[in-house]
Structure 1
């Protein structure tokens, strides 16, 4: 019973993290809060770094990627980095730069698909918006612009399905057009625009609107790109006027909270498990593996977590895993303790990356989709993912190290390879392994409904993942010291 309660304690903590993180921006903000509480000091990439062995630091990029690290008290320049990498983004519907759509007397919000979502799961869900806003602020006659996070808690939008009476073919398969059918309803024109059927600029059909900047005398706003009602909702949350909103980067979000569920309370039902589950477990593992005064006494390396944005769309951005952000961090730490340029290459070769991204659990209704000898199950522990074509970066050396750590702590481990007659997804693992030259293993907790608006994983696997990651930080130097490769 004690182990079961412990599993639920870790899972409950993750539920809090998930419910605080409707977007990548909010996930990073929550990670910052937790790191500060654990004694981590924030750095700026725009300033010089003054680092000390035994201290703990973090920095953010674009407020959607965060890197945190703790320097061992026995660290010297050229020693390795023990890294867990995950990602903060998930498939979603992002609001377009121009969101105002009016059709048939209905106010709709223009969205674009982000990543490979199961978009049919977004129909008939109670939706809201969250993200970041650029707000104009005036103080003593001086104008400045600030980045502000925003989240409207209550459901304000919905994407309704068409009644079966009007689509008799729906029983043969639900087919829809992502551009014309996947548009959330915000309000009716009658109620939504202050009892006006149309704006001063005239009715807007299918997203076309007047590009003029002349202020609307009746609404008090010059913004013609978005519905006044949406701007008013955002302004109310931000404590500003609608015209103070210069621009925003928002996404549609499900309002149903994450929860521990199932008849035996063994599951987590939530959106964004891919990949906030791995983000949470790696972050908590780093914090707890560096929390005591003695935790870094014997550490000769650097313990690091790197949570990237834009994995779901290929990682090719200034804050994605395809950017130099992680190499920049390794370089700056290494160079902070020595001016010898050759030590960076040594540090990379002594380093090791755990690429942590959720894995496909065996689905009881589609068992034929898994290779017979590689069928990860819920509650079965972290899954080591292997692909001969390097869609995952795992090799025998990197997987052996990870298994040895599990064995020492009596943690379960599973294996996954995709069937030869099916395509294989990928992760940040091959991107970082090839871009930096770092040894990498690809792992992930098993889940069902990946890329749905509501996903499923097991409470026990959250605990297994957290404990495995924590053991990795504490044990890697010892296990790696026994490996004889490339000698």
Structure 2
């Protein structure tokens, strides 16, 4: 790998920064992945329709617009051959708006939020925040109502969760304890400013029109109690969303919004060796796997000798257990196996899905814990992943990770052939261990799995960091995996 000078940014890393800045939510990450796939000649499929696939074809589909699965079929593929997969996830810990988010206290308009995943919630205080997500918008087409799913993102900082002054909490430096119900409400506006600017909710006590103006017909209906979901959220917020979507506030039927940091992702450090960003867990692995698939299938010759199916699966809801219709615990992976295999079966002949699974392999790619220089005792001496040293193979005897000797050998051997460094991680015996989609898919599907990830610091903070070199190593290793696995797997014998 040729490293750029400290004044330069590697093109791959610059592309990754663009991906991060385009992906404040899982919905936006899928949208950006979809854009890149289409640009690279991948054809979109729809789960509600029939699939007519062909050898050498490149395809993708989305589920809930928060999970996306892309795959390229080898030109020498025959029904019953295996799938070579990299799995990652699109979601990150965050604060999501509640179904009724309108809160008014002490002369402030606040937004009710709920915690999603295991975030470091103290890092969300005193940040310049905004909202992003998806909105269901009602439209009338020639008098017939229709409802569309629209992505929205407010770029401007409109929210903030302020900390309490140290003068009012002298013990705060001895331990910053956050009550996630009462302390994490972000401030949207003061009630008086909202009222003066005629954007307060007319249902709220004390909110009136100014300068003797009459309330609009729309406001009057709302004041009289006309049923509307808009009562659940501050009109100030709804009107801002509507202005971005090009619709009226009352045309917003529902939404899934989350708070997001407005500070952009950047390459940083005196040597330009770090990436400072939110959502590195796990958009880093999502980007590297997608980029590896796209570049590894870009040329006409790339799939010429491939006998399997190369696949990237980016799932939602990993941070909360994957138990959803679009999570790794859902049938989406098996659904994809079944439909692809059936579509390519000659003359409708039945192919054993069990055989397909046993010929398949999954790289579960989720960020890893880098050795922290200020907390060296949190890693055991023989397993200290460091930045700029490549992907980390995660091991756990209690199956919190799905790695075993065979799967780790395959992944390590591919790196060795291409002179790409690899590291190992085992959690200390006296500490708890996290988990990934690896054990979920290994146990639910029955697929051989290795758990890996690039090392990072500040995991689950609103602002994380990783090494530039590890992004490049991760991409190169996953690309080599797609290109090398078929040949290497044919040389390995286990159940014989």
Asked if Structure 1 and Structure 2 have the same fold, meaning a TM-score greater than 0.5 normalized by the shorter chain, the answer is yes
Distance (whole Å) between structure 2 residues aligned to residue 328 and residue 462 of structure 1? 31
Please point out which of 296, 300, 321 is paired with 1:293: 300
Q: CA deviation at 1:344?
A: 1.3
For residues 7 and 375 of structure 1, do their structure 2 counterparts lie closer, same or farther at Cα, with a shift above 3 Å needed?
farther
Distance (whole Å) between structure 1 residues aligned to residue 474 and residue 220 of structure 2? 55
Distance (whole Å) between structure 1 residues aligned to residue 220 and residue 255 of structure 2? 20
In structure 2, what is the equivalent of residue 92 of structure 1?
94
* 8 A contact 1:71–1:303 mirrored in 2: yes
Q: CA deviation at 1:158?
A: 0.1
For residues 154 and 221 of structure 1, do their structure 2 counterparts lie closer, same or farther at Cα, with a shift above 3 Å needed?
farther
Distance (whole Å) between structure 1 residues aligned to residue 238 and residue 195 of structure 2? 11
- Give the gaps of 5 or more residues in structure 1: 205-212
* 8 A contact 2:415–2:421 mirrored in 1: yes
Q: Secondary structure at the match of 2:393?
A: strand
In structure 1, what is the equivalent of residue 43 of structure 2?
41
* 8 A contact 1:135–1:146 mirrored in 2: yes
Q: How does 1:29-428 map to 2 (within 5 A)?
A: 29-195=31-197, 199-203=201-205, 215-216=221-222, 222=228, 223-338=230-345, 339-428=348-437
Q: CA deviation at 1:216?
A: 2.3
* 8 A contact 2:342–2:351 mirrored in 1: no
Distance (whole Å) between structure 2 residues aligned to residue 398 and residue 54 of structure 1? 27
* 8 A contact 1:84–1:306 mirrored in 2: yes
Distance (whole Å) between structure 2 residues aligned to residue 203 and residue 195 of structure 1? 16
Q: Secondary structure at the match of 1:435?
A: helix
* 8 A contact 1:190–1:197 mirrored in 2: no
Q: Secondary structure at the match of 2:32?
A: helix
In structure 1, what is the equivalent of residue 214 of structure 2?
none
Distance (whole Å) between structure 2 residues aligned to residue 278 and residue 129 of structure 1? 24
Distance (whole Å) between structure 2 residues aligned to residue 424 and residue 325 of structure 1? 26
Distance (whole Å) between structure 1 residues aligned to residue 91 and residue 173 of structure 2? 33
* 8 A contact 1:102–1:203 mirrored in 2: no
Q: CA deviation at 1:11?
A: 0.9
Q: CA deviation at 1:219?
A: 12
Could you tell me the TM-score, scaled by structure 2's length? 0.94
Q: Deviations over 1:351-375 (max 9, x none)?
A: 0000000000000000000011000
Q: CA RMSD in A?
A: 1.8
Q: Is the deviation greater in 7-16 or in 448-457?
A: 7-16
Q: CA deviation at 1:24?
A: 0.1
Aligned length: 479
Distance (whole Å) between structure 1 residues aligned to residue 200 and residue 493 of structure 2? 73
Q: CA deviation at 1:7?
A: 7.0
Residue 472 (str. 1) matches residue 481 (str. 2): yes
- Give the gaps of 5 or more residues in structure 2: 207-218
Q: Secondary structure at the match of 1:125?
A: coil
Q: CA deviation at 1:33?
A: 0.2
Q: Deviations over 1:283-308 (max 9, x none)?
A: 00000000001000000000000000
Q: CA deviation at 1:193?
A: 3.8
Q: CA deviation at 1:340?
A: 4.2
Distance (whole Å) between structure 1 residues aligned to residue 199 and residue 372 of structure 2? 49
Q: CA deviation at 1:97?
A: 0.2
Please point out which of 433, 437, 452 is paired with 1:443: 452
Q: Deviations over 1:47-89 (max 9, x none)?
A: 1100000010000000000000000000000000000000000
Distance (whole Å) between structure 2 residues aligned to residue 81 and residue 63 of structure 1? 23
For residues 333 and 365 of structure 1, do their structure 2 counterparts lie closer, same or farther at Cα, with a shift above 3 Å needed?
same
Q: Secondary structure at the match of 2:471?
A: helix
Structure 1 residue ranges (4+ consecutive) displaced by more than 6 angstroms after TM superposition: 218-221
Q: CA deviation at 1:404?
A: 0.6
Q: Deviations over 1:20-46 (max 9, x none)?
A: 000000000000000000000000000
Q: Deviations over 1:261-285 (max 9, x none)?
A: 0111000000000000000000000
Q: Secondary structure at the match of 1:474?
A: helix
Q: CA deviation at 1:198?
A: 6.6
Could you tell me the TM-score, scaled by structure 1's length? 0.96
Q: Secondary structure at the match of 1:466?
A: helix
Q: Deviations over 1:186-235 (max 9, x none)?
A: 0000112444697433349xxxxxxxx98326999942101011001100
* 8 A contact 1:72–1:300 mirrored in 2: yes
In structure 1, what is the equivalent of residue 213 of structure 2?
none
In structure 1, what is the equivalent of residue 4 of structure 2?
4
Q: Deviations over 1:438-487 (max 9, x none)?
A: 00000000000000000000000000000000000000001111101101
Q: Deviations over 1:80-132 (max 9, x none)?
A: 00000000000000000001000011000000000000000000000000000
Q: CA deviation at 1:10?
A: 1.1
Q: Secondary structure at the match of 2:410?
A: helix
